[in-house]
Amino acid sequence: MDFQRCLLNVGNALCEDEVKALAFLCTDLLGRNPTIVESASDLFLRLAYQDHLSAERPHLLTELLLIIQRTRLIRELELPELSATTRSLISPYRKLLYDLSEGITVGDLKHVKFLLNNKLPRRKLEDNISTLEVFLEMEHMDLIRDTNLDLLETIIQSVCPMLNEKINHFKALQGEVPRSLDPKRTASLESPGKHVRLLSSTMNTSNTSIDLPNGFNGGDECEALSHGLSGLNTETSSLRIDVLEMLPAQENNKASSEQQTFQTTNTNVEGLGTYPMTSAKRGICLIVNNYNFTIQALRKREGTMHDEECLHKVFTWLGFEVEIKRDCKREQMLSVLRELGSRPIHSQMDCLVCCILSHGIEGAVYGVEGRTVKIKELMEPVNGFKCPSLAEKPKLFFIQACQGNSEQRPVYIESDGHPVFSDAIQANESIPSDADFLLGMATVPSFVSFRERKNGTWFIQSLCQNLVQMVPRGSDLVSILTKVNADVSQKTDCTGVKKQMPQPAFSLRKKVIFPIPQASPPSLSH
């Protein structure tokens, strides 16, 4: 039978509640709120669009129908059986919640809603709200997740104790596989390589000085930093990361105090899940834009306002609440991040984005008064330990900053003509040692990052353009940043010889796939 006709027959055979159940089971695959799914056909199209379901890969359909116990339909449509080696696409956690919902009667559900009366909004506890919808809202409020079922277990114990055996069985199975990072422990060294991965191969960081001469290319203007890279380890081709620095004392006692060396490795991405993107509000997008510096050595960052405008448009389109802080001193930047990390509202959101646009030195950015703050200091207030409501949620940092050598003051060379400037950054000491972080750097060591007076920076502009182009295709963020790498690497400065290569580094455990916005993509042109 033609596979499309098969899908149509399945859709016609399912009732409305069964379609909602399938959408709930596919929450993690869709990366968005399952309540937006309008029909079985709509669900199948979304799954096919993300390459989870096709005539060549029909096993997800079989798995879904098995979970909702429509085995006869599987036989009638001659769908392939699941073998012992078939990889399950539906997580045990999602199956558990569905299984529990099937054991909760209408009367039980009323008792569940009563016990949640002071924890969920009243409109989410109305009579027409199903058990699965209650579970979904509990997830949105960060009351339950795959590593924390305490509240659900307490409620089930009061309402229908026999169902707790299912939870106990789930916990026992979870104990047989590596657990997700405990938010009360900022980093586990059980296997550091699981949590930190570098996309770009790190490069030789031998002493390099980049001076772009005056009056080249018919008077084109370039402004560059002199990069003295002495003091860095120049013998290794891998980036050395101190992952012990943010560990609690008890973890340090268990782990070696030596730095861990991580190298890019090939991993099997088949088993990767997707971070949930199901909340009504996607998250906060903070933009710190330092343009006007009060010390003479740090010039105005011409072109940065266009970067800010594009970031605002794109992340608003993606469903974020954008907040902009301009011309911040060191302490103001730290204060903004600490205040951001203290907000309870993150429990109702899916992730966090922070964009830092400034001058800088190695591993740090400048406040407008000329004092520096380390990038890891800016990231620390929102890690899973300091901000539990962001635990196990992606925290995405994009850094565009002029970075010089810690031993040398930046030197700016300027002439009349085409305004191209440099913004370079090195990744040393900036890699997050907590899980669920992504740090998008403007460039790898020894490379210049360019900023144009009118058009903004190559990195930020490419990031915005590729988000607009690739999010509607269902692409994940790491793939988008790989495309940013490819695009920026093709550019040259006004001499035609200088290149730039961005470097994302991350400790993500799942794929970040933004839901496709219903609104048209924003225009990024002036």
- Number of other CB atoms surrounding residue 514 within 10 Å: 26
Q: How wide is the angle at C-alpha 366 spanned by C-alphas 363 and 372, nearest 5°?
A: 65
228 in Cβ contact with 207 (< 8 Å):
yes
Distance CA 141, CA 348 (A): 5
Which of 390, 378, 397 minimizes the C-alpha distance to 349?
390
Distance CA 324, CA 134 (A): 34
- Number of other CB atoms surrounding residue 254 within 10 Å: 10
Torsion of CA 358, 361, 362, 363, to 10 degrees: -50
Distance CA 57, CA 80 (A): 10
How is the chain split into domains, by residue range? 1-90, 96-177, 192-266+280-506
pTM: 0.52
Q: How far is CA 168 from CA 18, 47, 151, 389, in A?
A: 26, 31, 14, 25
- State the burial class of residue 27 (Cβ atoms within 10 Å of its Cβ: 0-12, 13-18, 19+): buried
- Of 2.40.50.100, 3.50.30.30, 1.10.533.10, 1.20.120.350, the CATH number of 1-90 is 1.10.533.10
CATH number for the domain formed by residue range(s) 192-266+280-506: 3.40.50.1460
Residue with tokens 């994302």: 504
Q: Which amino acid is at 187?
A: A
Which tokens is 266 given?
């090939």
Q: Is residue 359 annotated as a catalytic residue, yes or no?
A: yes
Distance CA 481, CA 221 (A): 29
Q: How wide is the angle at C-alpha 385 spanned by C-alphas 381 and 390, nearest 5°?
A: 75
DSSP state of 220: B
Residue with tokens 């040259």: 492
Is 299 strand, coil or helix? coil
pLDDT digits (tens, 9 = 90+) for 109-124: 999 999 999 989 888 8
| pLDDT attached to residue 435 | 83
Are both 1-90 and 192-266+280-506 of the same fold?
no
398 in Cβ contact with 378 (< 8 Å):
no
pLDDT digits (tens, 9 = 90+) for 284-293: 999 999 999 9
CATH number for the domain formed by residue range(s) 96-177: 1.10.533.10
Annotated active-site residue in 26, 310, 355, 402: 402
Which tokens is 459 given?
């990195």
Per-residue pLDDT of the chain (526 residues; tens, 9 = 90+): 688 889 999 999 999 999 999 999 998 888 767 888 889 998 998 898 888 898 888 899 999 999 999 989 988 888 888 876 778 889 999 999 999 999 999 999 999 999 999 989 888 899 889 999 999 999 888 899 888 899 999 999 999 988 988 898 888 777 644 333 333 333 333 333 333 333 333 333 333 223 333 332 322 223 333 333 233 333 333 333 333 333 333 334 433 333 333 333 344 445 578 999 988 889 999 999 999 999 888 888 888 999 999 999 999 999 999 999 999 999 999 999 999 999 989 999 999 999 999 987 777 888 999 999 998 899 999 998 889 899 889 999 998 876 544 332 333 334 333 455 554 444 444 444 478 999 886 655 444 555 667 778 888 999 999 999 999 999 999 999 999 888 877 766 555 555 555 667 888 989 999 999 989 999 987 6
Annotated active-site residue in 359, 387, 464, 494: 359
| pLDDT attached to residue 502 | 63
Instruction: Please report which helix (H) or strand (E) contains residue 375, including its range.
Output: helix 375-379
